[in-house]
Chains A and B, each alone.
Chain A
């Protein structure tokens, strides 16, 4: 079964550093998303991406965050200057056709900011 692949699985970074989280969505999917989950809490929407541009973003997705699809396969989330409160599990998701199917989530990247 096709999978959404995320790397790295765990990243530790110092406060103020930039991080890039990488995702390879399922190849025929058109819609891409980032969600995050702070430990023990619910999953929160960050951003959706379609047709090479952001289609919606949440209040969490401020100027410190950016997304990019640099080639035909990768989808990245960049955090420019990490804060302690950015520590969370970040999930990438993709979808093909929301009228008939759902979303496929990746295995996640655990980001720890120290």
Chain B
């Protein structure tokens, strides 16, 4: 059974600092997604990582995927308060037509002024 583990689960940081959220998964997959969720809201797609070595950046967020290590990272650069949210990684499993996402536990990020 696929396990997806994020760490840390809670992260409180100061504005302007850098930090990294880690997502480890237990079986082979080359498709991984990062989502942001604000309290009581839906899942907003941040990054779609579809191959080993994929790196994507949007603003202060950068995500990477190492399929050999079964590891993805979400790096936050010079954090700002607006980035406070819960971040989920999700690994895509299954075959075409029968896929499913297995989510990590989420990382609740709080950025303090």
Contacts and interface: CB of A to CB of B under 8 A. Distances in A.
Q: How large is the interface on A (under 10, 10 to 19, 20 to 34, 35 or more residues)?
A: 20 to 34
Interface residues of B, number: 25
A42 B104 contact: yes
Given A42-B106, A98-B92, A102-B33, A107 B97 contact: no
Interface in B65-113: 88, 90, 92, 94, 96-106
B7 to A, nearest CB: 14
Given A31-B97, A51-B97, A43 B42 contact: no
Interface centre among A33, A35, A45 (most CB of B within 10 A): A45
Interface stretch (B10-18, B19-27, B43-51): B43-51
A100 interface: yes
B101 A45 contact: yes
B19 to A, nearest CB: 21
A56 B102 CA distance: 13
Interface centre among B45, B92, B101 (most CB of A within 10 A): B101
A105 interface: yes
Contacts of B43: 43, 91, 105
